[in-house]
């Protein structure tokens, strides 16, 4: 009887040890989610944006390499909290963009770096943040838009008729490098815009909108206004501090 009890006790202990290892094994094999909405995890930012409801906060949990496109519907507000992480666009032979936002709603960006990927083709383009539609894009904390390696690189490329806010926008292209470009009817607000390239421009306005920039620095010119729009700048530096057509 004692031997039987000892055997049963040994089996029970061994079974407990095996069971205690199972959750740890499962957790070790399962990669943590890249993005969260509340307690729900998503493998990509695109999947999280597709699932997001009005008022949702999407949180990045690590650096992500993904080219994301999102159209915001009217009356909808979505927050992307980067948590200090970076969204990098996928490399391309034509155009690499980290985040493209269109539509008519509101997107709040917080503590996020948007880094364009590498574009290897002739006349390739790399963009950190590309916008269109009639958007309201607000920024909290540090929000950086950076162009990547390409013949033509843009930190922020705006064609929206709404308002776009970022903390800083920078680009270093092989030929063209523009920190913040406004091609639309809307307003771009940026603290620091830097462009470094053969044609490096801090802030460029080619639309009828407005750029408000505290510091614009370009290897060629700080500010380039080629439109009927307005550029309000505190400090502009470059070979030409400002070029107005």
pLDDT in tens, 96-133: 999 999 999 999 999 999 999 999 999 999 999 999 99
Q: Are residues 94 and 25 in the same domain?
A: no
Copy the structure tokens of residue 32. Answer: 């943590």
> What local confidence, expressed as pLDDT, does residue 240 receive?
79
**Residue 24 — very low, low, confident or very high, per pLDDT cuts 50/70/90?**
very low
Q: Are residues 23 and 37 in the same domain?
A: no
Q: Are residues 14 and 38 in the same domain?
A: no
Q: For CA atoms 35, 95, 166, 162, give the dihedral sign.
A: negative
Q: Are residues 1 and 103 in the same domain?
A: no
Q: Are residues 111 and 62 in the same domain?
A: yes
Q: Are residues 25 and 45 in the same domain?
A: no
pLDDT above 90 covers a percentage of the chain that reads 83
Q: Residue 210: which domain range?
A: 33-244
Q: How many domains does the chain contain in total?
A: 2
Rounded to two decimals, the pTM is 0.87
Q: Are residues 182 and 153 in the same domain?
A: yes
Classified as helix, coil or strand, 78 is strand
The pLDDT tens digits for 48-88 are 999 999 999 999 999 999 999 999 999 999 999 999 999 99
How far the first Cα of the chain sits from its last, in Å, is: 101
Alpha carbon distances (Å) from 243 to 193, 222, 236: 15, 8, 10
Q: Are residues 150 and 123 in the same domain?
A: yes
Q: Are residues 177 and 229 in the same domain?
A: yes
In whole angstroms, give the CA distance from residue 115 to residue 155.
8
């Amino acid at each position: 009887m004692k031997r039987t009890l000892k055997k049963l006790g040994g089996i029970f202990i061994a079974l407990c040890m095996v069971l205690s290892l199972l959750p740890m094994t499962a957790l070790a094999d399962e990669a943590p989610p890249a993005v969260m909405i509340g307690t729900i995890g998503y493998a990509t930012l695109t999947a999280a944006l597709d699932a997001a409801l009005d008022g949702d906060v999407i949180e990045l949990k690590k650096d992500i390499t993904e080219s994301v496109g999102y159209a915001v519907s009217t009356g909808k507000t979505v927050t992307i909290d980067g948590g200090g992480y970076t969204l990098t666009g996928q490399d391309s032979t034509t155009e690499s963009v980290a985040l493209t936002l269109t539509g008519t709603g509101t997107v709040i960006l917080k503590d996020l770096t948007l880094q364009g990927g590498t574009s290897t083709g002739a006349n390739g383009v790399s963009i950190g943040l590309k916008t269109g539609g009639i958007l309201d894009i607000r920024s909290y904390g540090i929000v950086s838009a950076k162009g990547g390696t390409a013949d033509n690189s843009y930190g922020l490329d705006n064609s929206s008729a709404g308002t776009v806010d970022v903390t800083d926008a920078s680009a270093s292209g092989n030929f063209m490098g523009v920190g913040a470009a406004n091609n639309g009817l809307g307003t771009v607000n940026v603290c620091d815009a830097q462009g470094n390239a053969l044609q490096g421009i801090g802030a460029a306005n080619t639309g009828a909108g407005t750029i408000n920039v505290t510091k614009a620095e370009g290897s060629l010119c700080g500010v380039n206004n080629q439109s009927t729009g307005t550029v309000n700048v505190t400090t502009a530096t470059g070979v030409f501090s400002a070029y107005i057509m």
